[in-house]
Amino acid sequence: MTAELRALNARFINNFIINDVAGHDAILHEGFICIASTGTRVSRADYLKAWATGFDAERIPYYDYRDEKIDVFGDTALVRSTNKRVGLKDGVETVSMTMYTDIYVREGGAWKCVQARITPVASDHYPPDETIVAKYVKGEAQP
């Protein structure tokens, strides 16, 4: 079960990197909502609309996810991890991390993400590099 959720989390991230709206739509529950880092509630439709252009390898030359933790409670699962991104704007690089908690429910034998919650991480709480699960440079997965 945890392996299945780990694979879904990897798919979630990959969908972001390649702007795969259809693939991402397939893993979202019909009642999905995102709680953005600003506290804004983002509807499923608006979330998917933004997904189409959310990742740009020129603006985000480095991206990883790390410190993955998955807990299952019956037919509900919490999938948590932290993303590191290096942003590039007007020649200036910025480094930031956000922790996400994706809530999945199992219905009819399939896991669907019903909510994503994104929280900024203060630099003194950044998880170390040895917890990296996968990383992307210019949108390409790295070994």
In a domain? residue 142: no
- What domain range is 122 assigned to? 2-137
Q: What is the CATH classification number for the domain harbouring 91?
A: 3.10.450.50
In a domain? residue 38: yes
Beta strand 92-107 pairing with 110-120: antiparallel
Confidence tier at 91 by pLDDT (50, 70, 90): confident
CA-derived radius of gyration, the chain: 15
In a domain? residue 143: no
Domain count, the chain: 1
127 secondary structure, DSSP code: P
In a domain? residue 84: yes
In a domain? residue 85: yes
In a domain? residue 123: yes
pTM: 0.93
Mean pLDDT of 18-43: 96
